[in-house]
Amino acid sequence: RISRTTLVLIFVLFFCIPALMAMESLKFDSAAYVELLRKLIGENRNLQNNPPLNVPQEDLASQHVLKVLEPYTVEKGGPLMVRRETFVEGRGNVIIEYRCENKDAPYVSFVGSHLDVVPANPDEWDFNPYELIVEGDKLCGRGVTDCLGHVALVTELFKQIGINKPRLNVNVAAVMIANEENSKVEGVGIDELVKRGMIAHLKSGPVFWVDSADKHPCLGTAGMVPWQLKAKGKLFHSGLPHQAINPMEMAMEAVKYMQERFYQDFPPHPEEERYKFITCSSMKPTQWSYPGGGVNQIPAECTICGDMRLTPFYTAQQAKKSLQSYVDELNKDITKLPTRGPSSKYTLPDQGLTGTLELTIMGEAMSGIACSLDSPGNKVLFEATEEVLGECKPYSLTGSLPLVKELQDEGFDIQIIGYGLMKTYHAKNEYGLLSDFSQGFQIMCKIIQKISDKH
């Protein structure tokens, strides 16, 4: 007769321990990671996304991913289902799946690591951005933080899954995407995957968007509305300012008025504190231009460009409507703006001239996201982060991520993670830390295991 203690021991040995060890036993192969990242960075000259000058060919990067994973694919007798989905030649997306025995099991997914990069100007860098430079723990090159370092990380995760074949109660998937750095061109990346229903099955579980930084959970990002304000006045000699309408002075005062109104209408939102936003919504100028002329000429027009950054508790539509109303109010009576000195004016009644303002919203607005703080995905992310790092310090910021809000609106439980460095995002001399990506590997393994244990 088998004692109760023996039965418990058998249960623990054959059921509990293997389940606990399934993902915990996976090891990050730093040498293999660096080798793959070196190949990815070596392609980045042709991954730069700034059309029409730079149209990336993401297949140049994904070919290295596919080669690493090939020995572990179902075609080679392994457990991984790997495919490239292409809508524009040379610009494919990669979908990877590891399915458990239960065909009805939910998914845990790692989505958003992208195969394109922002442009780099080698003349401005202290090292060659088009090759990986390793300095101890420091990995240098365009795309290490955003986002080829994450492409290599997700590849290493699935390679280890393919080797070890952990027994799980959930399916695990990854989607590496094309064309993340350019929202103006559609039908290339994840927007088309969603449109065609190719990743709809991932809604059954949490989706971790792997394109952030600093290792801790990102709870929210901002929407972004780019704007342009053109001020039209009257060109004249600067020695006779009373005969001119100075568009530069008018534009400066107009932007000041618009900013004052914006901060009245879009003040800090109560939810921003709960989500730990670093800053509130903002509206500011970032560029200035004019047609040219002599320093002794008051120009006929000038243009100021900038953006509005909106915490996700305000909508881009609200902000666009408000900004237009500010300009409309000024055009009804431009004299309400303060002038700059006794000779400064925005109307010349004797000549029948009045300065005017033209507002243009440039391109498509980007929506912000507030991740669910109550979802299972959020809870396991917090737990896994604290277990690996010793603490969990979530944050939100008014930088913007494309596509994530649209995915959330489609019904995906989006959580945002990343293991590069925020201070080098889109910056010259971009780099990341090998130790950070190694910890990211551990966190992702724990996420998978914790979700599996709940099913």
CA atoms within a 13 Å half-sphere pointing along the CA-CB vector of 265: 19
pLDDT of 402 over the 90 cut: no
pLDDT of 24 over the 90 cut: no
pLDDT at residue 17, as a whole number: 46
Q: What does pLDDT average to over the chain?
A: 94
Distance CA 143, CA 432 (A): 9
Structure tokens at 109: 């997914």
Q: Which helix (H) or strand (E) holds 207?
A: strand 206-210
198-206 mean pLDDT: 97
Distance CA 89, CA 92 (A): 7
Banded model confidence at residue 103, pLDDT cuts 50, 70, 90:
confident
Instruction: Tell me which residue has tokens 């990506």.
Output: 437
Span 53-66, pLDDT tens digits = 999 999 999 999 99
pLDDT at residue 428, as a whole number: 96
Provide the 10 A C-beta neighbour count for residue 14: 10
361-387 mean pLDDT: 95
**Count of helices and strands (H, E) across the chain:** 12, 20
137-156 mean pLDDT: 98
Catalytic residues: 116, 180
Peptide bond into 349 cis (omega under 30): no
Span 235-282, pLDDT tens digits = 999 999 999 999 999 999 999 999 999 999 999 999 999 999 999 999
Distance CA 411, CA 400 (A): 20
